[in-house]
A and B are shown apart, each in its own frame.
Chain A
């Protein structure tokens, strides 16, 4: 648990508030790694098909408490780790994850869940090779998000925290709380901070340089799991 694993593969994850540009960066990284001949597997937060249906039901009916919200996301990650992360890592592949345990630590503690408890819950998680944190001022990320999408959702905006009756204002306050939590975790978990106010190209170059240093022992020719990985 928590870094006790030793795998031939590598796990790179991206974190940051909504609108930090982390998904764009991860997608560019994925394309580059594939082109370089690595076997790459991509895993997204809250995407386990089995758990997703329960999460959707809970969100639709607004029946989630901070604790069950937290536990459902833990279940989701556990399913993906057991099914989609550990097998490729064992096969010597590169796994990329859009959001990881730090998202849970930031959101769940903002909702009032005990920081110690939620860190304990995720002890089964594989320690990432590098955890990138895309740091961006709130005004910048909010402008990106609020101009680009139609409607904010209830839990996404943190409406369950009762911060404000106005969904946009609630979202802004919630994002601010999450950003504060990320900043606190930079030292605790050794997050690699990327200045996300710079151009997309500059950020990507920095990310690639950091990732490349970790790839010395990673085989470019996949050994097994090839068909499974190229979904």
Chain B
């Protein structure tokens, strides 16, 4: 077995997962977080081929892509039939499935895991919906602490033109319409995303986010991320 650099070791946030030997995980876990429409997936799409061209094997993953629960969540959201606690736990199921069946095996094999969102978006959604913060954080005690969390930060006013230029426009869920924050999608979007941003901001210190100014164009953000990730992977 290849030796793991002794200055690197994974930890769980809380109780952790049964039957996982953290010492076996040789890869790196990198998270891109930030609100809807901030440009996370664009950056992930650029970073993956760059990392691969530098010889790193990369697994990219994102919310509701689990083989187990992804489909069920999409159906639930399409019919708007789940309450806030149920939806939060369904997301946690999706997350745990991807963590155990995708991310951890990839880390064991020495991959760079590049994830579009992680537990922070899910925690923020739950808190904005009025759920108990300490409860939801304890639920995510199964999660691994990432090597880095890059928080792409922008104000709500910066997000609006980006969301409007997407083919779907304001989305029901991205606007928090399930919690009735405004009369129409626009009002609700502004209020919901404002609340989400304030929760994200409150997590910067707690979870050690590296804040990236996402009001800049795509290129400088990408170079900034390349620089930071390059530094992180120097010892691989």
Contacts and interface: CB of A to CB of B under 8 A. Distances in A.
B86 to A, nearest CB: 4
B169 interface: no
Interface stretch (A58-66, A92-100, A170-178, A185-193): A58-66
Contacts, number: 99
B185 interface: no
A78 B139 contact: no
B101 interface: yes
Interface string A113-125: 1101100110110
Nearest to A111: B18
Interface stretch (A35-43, A69-77, A130-138, A139-147): A69-77
B92 interface: yes
Given A50-B82, A63-B101, A74-B89, A68 B68 contact: yes
Nearest to B99: A67
Contacts of B76: 50
B199 interface: no
Given A67-B142, A113-B18, A114-B18, A83 B68 contact: no
B173 interface: no
Give the bracket for the number of chain B residues in contact with chain A: 20 to 34
A148 interface: no
Interface stretch (B9-17, B24-32, B39-47): B9-17
Given A63-B67, A68-B97, A71-B93, A120 B85 contact: no
A120 B82 contact: no
B93 A68 contact: yes
Contact of B93 (A66, A75, A112): A75
A17 B96 CA distance: 28
A75 B89 contact: yes
A68 B89 contact: no
A104 to B, nearest CB: 12
A79 B83 contact: yes
Contacts of B93: 54, 68, 71-72, 75
A63 B94 CA distance: 12
B146 interface: no
B69 interface: yes
Interface of B: 14-19, 67-69, 71-72, 75-76, 81-86, 88-90, 92-93, 96-97, 100-101, 132, 135, 138-139, 141-142
Interface of A: 1, 48, 50-51, 53-54, 57-58, 63-68, 71-72, 74-75, 78-79, 81-83, 111-114, 116-117, 120-121, 123-124
Given A53-B72, A123-B132, A123-B135, 4 more contacts: A50-B76, A50-B82, A75-B93, A83-B83
